[in-house]
Chains A and B, each alone.
Chain A
Amino acid sequence: MLYKSLSSFPVFEVERDYDKCIVCGCCVQQCTFDATYYLPYAKKVITDEHKCVGCKRCEAMCPTGAIKVRAVTNEFKHNAYWDARTIRDIYKQADQGGVILTGGGNDRRFRVYWDHLLIDACQVTNPSIDPLREPMELRTFLGRKPDALEVEYNEKGEPELKTKIAPNLVAEIPVIFAPMSYGALNLNMHKAMAAAADAMGTYWNTGEGSLHRDLYKYGHCTIVQVASGRFGVSAEYLKVAAAAEIKIGQGAKPGIGGHLPGEKVDEEISKTRMIPVGTDALSPAPHHDIYSIEDLRQLIYAIKEATNYEKPVSVKIAAVHNVAAIASGIARAGADIIVLDGFRGGTGASPAIVRDYVGIPVEIAVAVVDQRLREEGIRNWVSIIAAGGIRNSADVIKAIALGADAVYIGTSALLAVGCTLCHKCYTGRCAWGITTNDPHIAKRLNPDIAAERLINLLKGWAHEMKEMLGLMGINAIESLKGNRLRLRAIGLTKEEMDILGVLPAGEGI
């Protein structure tokens, strides 16, 4: 039989212009995938393209612009059904057996509902507002809101609020850094997100790998996660945070657990997760104390008891077909915030088959959950955070118009600090120093510069969101919430529009 190894067909071409190359060796040193090396007898730097993952680190760092990294586009005879990735995956599994791993988010060609939704604007009858001249409110409160407000008059005849308001998070911009664990990311990235969230008056989320001691000072802007592995979960961890989040599922891999390989559990991660150095950190698929909504309620209230009812408790689930009914159960279980994580959401490591074919888009999940909770009259019990593939401020505006209160950004935050979406996060060799805990490579991510870039991103989005609110004639993000009349669909079927609760473009009210 003809043996055909996967490595016979590289995915990327690394073109090096030897007229420009000064043989400085920078690209050799920067390539963390050992693809590039110096060939002494030829006095040349060359790349073994079979090893190249297309991270573009060498291209970015070459001082003379000698390198171009390009995806090989015509590697096999054109075939609209058996595409190159499918062919390679079969080769790979025939070579090695086993589950194909990937990182990042679903990149398959499913319909992107964001791109079929257009935002409405005011003309003549309802004047738009100029955000440069008029106050524009992005402040968002996350947590339970009362069913009604009761006011009492004191002896002096002044009104006083009698209703006890449940604890809420206050975000100055409805954009929060998504849960990404220390382990999947390194401490530099956690520091950057914490500092950026603090500076912008918003929040960041630890993910399930606990909170490093050095970051306890950011507790007031930190959402801490409690996942099935319970890594580093302690009374102190819950008390130091602004809110706690029970992680049930992740959009990139609904219904399956996590697995941080032992090689990645170094001294610092071991200290933070409170597990021995070098052991696998396994997160079981379910929490084994949660097999029902009643059990979920029990953990929600365990956290509330442990934190003296002073902090909102969030529950994060992957967006799946039955998400509306599940969310209703979660709201009734006592959660204050529900996070819906759509199938475009990223991951440090997931079986590719799960990342690519399980779950539903967050656009749909937000619309159906908001609708269901409204119909049941309990929408005010919880805030909804939309997560999983939020790419720009228009996606944020659309998510909020569909019924979300705020969004999480993960992939966008990684992009802001240099990620090129090579999807090799699971190797722990991220050339951009983001999803690696190799101390040498992690130094490539300077936490101060990274924080600055995250702040810039949020500032840019905040300006844009204010512009968009203004053109809709709205002066507070609160008024956009669930305001689906400000969206119109283009190129969607009747059923899709019904599920999203939007009218077709061109149809007036």
Chain B
Amino acid sequence: MEPLVIDAKGMHYRELNQIIRDKVAEGYRHFILHNVNGQRYIGAGIMEDVFIEIHGVAGNDLGVFMKRGTIIVYDDAQDGVGNTMEGTKIVVHGMAGDVCGYGMRGGKLHILRDIGYRTGIHMKTYKDMVPVIIVGGKAGDFFGEYMAGGILILLNLWDDDDRPIVGSYLGTGMHGGVMYIRGEVDPHNLGKEVGIKELDEKDFLLLKKLLKEYCEDFKDYGLSVDEIMKSPFTKLVPVSTRPYGKIYAY
């Protein structure tokens, strides 16, 4: 079927999302949205294999509860991108706000530039479902808090301000998954449940594979995997899968 083009100018999110849901039910799978300006919940709960292209700034909770498909935002996205998402890939050609990837269980978030606070909280892995978030810029506080699984990669490609690459309370309460941060992390900013590890061969292979896809998604920006991989990465893993196992008296 032809892609469905929607002009979202001045549309309430309810109207916009209702159209998308109705059209998905009719069999449409490819949507091109123009003049999006902060409309929330685009793609919410869609289980079909859709392809949604968004021109303009996507509003909060983009792709919330989504099961599969792809969303591309040719601009910035606001808070809650990929909230409790199951399997979609979301590519953002700009920045993304706070609490992205909360409780995400599968799928990918590829963010070109910076991301806000509280990224990837309580991400989880289950069997072959491994959620991946790759951020091209810097991140705020509580990156990977309560992380239970999945992969968080922070690249600091642009380094266009004097903020540190990542904020405080990095990985507080982390009990699963892995983070790769391109550059050094001030140990002072680490949550006490996180440990720094050397990268091994497997890590490099994994990074290479994931970054290849990331660079392809942003091919207009001249990114190269080899260039990115030249800088050293810091690998962070939880010290224990049971961080709070020892505080009780029986």
* Interface residues of A, Cβ cutoff 8 Å to B: 92-93, 95-101, 226, 228-230, 233-236, 238-239, 259, 261-262, 270, 274-276, 278-280, 282, 284, 288-289, 298, 301-303, 305-308, 427
Contacts and interface: CB of A to CB of B under 8 A. Distances in A.
A100 B142 CA distance: 29
A308 B105 CA distance: 22
Contacts of A270: 126
Contact of B122 (A93, A230, A279): A230
A53 B124 CA distance: 36
A139 B79 CA distance: 41
Contacts of B249: 92-93, 95-101
Given A282-B146, A302-B80, 8 more contacts: A98-B246, A99-B249, A275-B124, A289-B79, A301-B41, A302-B65, A305-B14, A306-B44
Given A98-B247, A230-B122, A274-B124, A305 B102 contact: no
Contacts of A98: 246-249
Contact of B148 (A99, A101, A235, A275): A275
Size bracket, chain B contacts: 35 or more
B84 A233 contact: yes
A284 B65 contact: no
B146 A307 contact: no
8 contacts: A99-B248, A100-B249, A234-B65, A280-B175, A280-B243, A289-B80, A301-B41, A306-B41
A302 B102 contact: no
Given A229-B103, A234-B67, A298 B61 contact: yes
Contacts of B80: 289, 298, 302
Nearest to B45: A306
Nearest to B118: A288
B149 A282 contact: no
Interface of B: 13-14, 17, 21, 40-41, 44-47, 60-61, 64-67, 79-80, 83-84, 86, 99, 102-103, 105, 118, 121-122, 124-127, 129, 142, 145-146, 148-149, 173, 175-176, 241-250
A230 B85 CA distance: 10
Contacts, number: 135
A230 B102 contact: yes
Chain B at the A interface: mostly helix, strand, loop or mixed?
loop
A406 B16 CA distance: 36
B65 A238 contact: yes
B61 A288 contact: no
A93 B14 CA distance: 55
A65 to B, nearest CB: 32
B205 to A, nearest CB: 22
Nearest to A349: B248
A238 B45 contact: yes
A92 B129 CA distance: 43
4 closest residue pairs by CB, A with B: A306-B45, A230-B103, A98-B249, A305-B44
A466 B229 CA distance: 73
Contact of B41 (A97, A228, A275, A302): A302
Contacts of A298: 40, 60-61, 80
A288 B44 contact: no
Contacts of B126: 270, 274-276
A2 B105 CA distance: 53
Nearest to A6: B249
Contacts of B246: 98
A99 B250 CA distance: 8
**Residue among A262, A279, A289, A308 having the largest count of chain B Cβ atoms under 10 Å:** A289
Given A275-B126, A288-B99, A280 B47 contact: no
B173 A282 contact: yes
B57 to A, nearest CB: 16
Given A262-B242, A298-B80, A274 B176 contact: no
Contacts of A229: 103, 122
A289 B83 contact: yes
A301 B61 CA distance: 10
A306 B42 CA distance: 10
Contacts of B105: 230, 234, 274
Given A275-B148, A284-B146, A302 B61 contact: yes
Contacts of B142: 288
B86 A234 contact: yes
A96 B82 CA distance: 43
**Residue among B80, B105, B146, B249 having the largest count of chain A Cβ atoms under 10 Å:** B249
A306 B118 CA distance: 23
**Residue among A270, A275, A288 having the largest count of chain B Cβ atoms under 10 Å:** A288
Given A235-B46, A305-B17, A305-B41, A289 B102 contact: yes
